Amino acid sequence: MAPNNPPIQPGAPRAVEILAFPDSQLLDVAGPLQVFASANERLAECGQPPAYAPRVLAQSASVGATAGLVFAAAPLPGDASAVDTL
């Protein structure tokens, strides 16, 4: 049974949060981030507003991946924070 998700409303991008943890694989963080960024780019080409608001979250302000790259992350939200996709 498919979930009953409401349609995306113009002007209200869906919050997409990508959880990063120490020693993550780069592709596990960058891949989903790029998918949603590319979707927003395609919508912009059609004159539509962004449908997604992706962000990377972690316990600390920076996270190191197994490849040695360290990237910035937003702090984990509180329990009351609404998330559309994690």
The pLDDT tens digits for 64-78 are 999 999 989 999 887
> In the predicted model, is pLDDT for residue 15 greater than 80?
yes
**pTM for the model:** 0.77
**Rounded-to-5 percentages of helix, strand, coil across the chain:** 25, 30, 50
Per the structure block, which two tokens stand in for 27?
Answer: 């592709």
Distance CA 77, CA 59 (A): 10
